[in-house]
């Protein structure tokens, strides 16, 4: 690293591909990039040709979710270099994975998530319900904080479809049955009248000989007081 001053002078005179490749080889982690950039700043070369090479390599590391903790820990450093803004495009890609989406939601403040990305968190959470067998992410209160009442009603309907779908695994159907219970925190804004039509469909769902699901079907309806509500609706009609 002591030779960076001479390397900078050389690159100012000659465009050497070999030297660029040699520098890039040494940049094997975001922390190494930080060390180089700190040194370049210290010798008065924060915007030289070597710095451009290092920043370019740093951007590649910023695209990888495995470096999220480092990004959060070094946010001020990245902001000073104008590199933090590149995180937004990375986040949008990371949201396609349920576990990554959960971690992004958990670090909303540190990542200074913009409104457009907040909308994408909600949209991706809804999409992932059908794509993944592990629905643990939807129980994350930080993920739930991005969901509007309409989003939650949409999710309730999606859970109903999974519960009724014989092509889905029994484990996932049992999992959504548990999540459909009124006691789950995700439904804290939802009133029974908001999802009455969906509950009616759950009531009519044919579950064949799968007794486990039949028991859960009753649990779901009982948790929402559906039968009493239905009786009241019948009396009103009479």
pLDDT in tens, 92-105: 999 999 999 999 99
Instruction: Work out the pLDDT band at 14, boundaries 50, 70, 90.
Output: very low
Q: Is the pLDDT of residue 237 over 90?
A: no
Mean pLDDT rounded to a whole number for the chain: 90
Q: Is the pLDDT of residue 236 over 60?
A: no
Structural domain spans, the chain? 1-61, 86-147, 148-238
**pTM given for the model:** 0.87
In percent, the amount of the chain with pLDDT more than 90 equals 76
Q: Is the pLDDT of residue 15 over 70?
A: no
Cα 83 → chain centroid: 21
Q: Name the phi and psi angles at 41, rounded to 5.
A: -65, -40
Q: What is the pLDDT of residue 5?
A: 58
Q: Enter the DSSP assignment of 3.
A: T
**pLDDT tens digit string along 99-142?**
999 999 999 999 999 999 999 999 999 999 999 999 999 999 99
What are the start-end ranges of the H helices in 81-204?
Answer: 87-94, 98-106, 108-111, 115-131, 141-144, 149-164, 170-179, 196-204
In percent, the amount of the chain with pLDDT more than 70 equals 89
**pLDDT tens digit string along 203-230?**
999 998 889 999 999 999 999 999 887 7
Q: What is the pLDDT of residue 13?
A: 47
Q: What is the pLDDT of residue 46?
A: 78
Say how many residues make up the chain: 238
* Four-point Cα dihedral 72, 73, 78, 80, nearest 10: 120
Q: What is the pLDDT of residue 234?
A: 44
When computed from its CA atoms, the radius of gyration of the chain, rounded to whole angstroms, is: 26
Cβ count within 10 A of residue 87: 22
The Cα 220–Cα 200 span in angstroms is 11
């Amino acid at each position: 690293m002591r030779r960076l001053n001479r390397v900078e002078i050389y690159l100012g005179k000659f465009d050497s591909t070999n030297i660029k490749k040699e520098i890039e080889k040494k940049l094997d982690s975001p922390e190494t990039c930080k060390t180089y950039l700190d040194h370049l700043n210290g010798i008065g070369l924060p915007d030289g040709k070597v710095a451009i090479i290092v920043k370019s390599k740093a951007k590649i590391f910023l695209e990888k979710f495995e470096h999220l903790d480092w990004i959060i820990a070094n946010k001020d450093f990245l902001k000073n270099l104008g590199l933090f803004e590149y995180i937004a495009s990375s986040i949008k890609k990371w949201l396609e994975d349920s576990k990554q989406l959960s971690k992004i939601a958990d670090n909303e403040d540190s990542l200074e998530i913009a409104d457009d990305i907040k909308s994408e968190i909600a949209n991706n959470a809804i999409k992932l319900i059908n794509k993944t067998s592990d629905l643990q992410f939807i129980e994350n209160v930080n993920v739930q904080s991005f969901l509007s009442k309409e989003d939650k009603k949409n999710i309730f309907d999606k859970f109903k479809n999974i519960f009724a779908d014989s092509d889905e695994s029994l484990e996932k159907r049992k999992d959504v049955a548990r999540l459909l219970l009124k006691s789950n925190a995700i439904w804290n804004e939802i009133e029974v009248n908001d999802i009455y039509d969906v509950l009616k469909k759950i009531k009519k769902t044919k579950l064949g000989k799968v007794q486990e699901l039949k028991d859960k079907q009753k649990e779901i309806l009982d948790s929402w007081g559906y039968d009493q509500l239905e009786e009241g609706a019948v009396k009103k009609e009479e």
